[in-house]
Amino acid sequence: MKFRALRTFAGDYRKLPAEIQRRFDKAIKLFEANPRHPSLRVKKMKGTAGIWEASVTMSYRFTFNWEADVITLRRIGTHSILEKE
């Protein structure tokens, strides 16, 4: 599995508090090992074509596309980022 990040994701990530960045780093390792791990709460976003979301914490999420073995990280932030997709 390969990861790539859109510029929007990179910008969002830089603006996160350090603790949330650490939590995301841990979550993405977990995702790589087991994308269906229950704590990630991975699900397809309603009303979108091929965009998924996963949890970092109860308040923070990240969105991504999943094509073959490439995960494209799109956005990361509070639940409000889901409205921007």
Quick: pLDDT tens for 3-58.
Answer: 999 999 999 999 999 999 999 999 999 999 999 999 999 999 988 889 999 999 99
Average pLDDT on 78-83 reads: 75
The span from the CA of 16 to the CA of 18, in Å, is 6
Alpha-carbon distance 70 to 65, whole Å?
A: 8
Q: Which residues pair with 70 in a beta bridge?
A: 2, 67
Residue 80: strand, helix, or coil: helix
List the domains of the chain with CATH numbers: 2-76 (3.30.2310.20)
User: Using an 8 Å Cβ cutoff, are 17 and 25 in contact?
Assistant: no
Does pLDDT of 84 surpass 70?
no
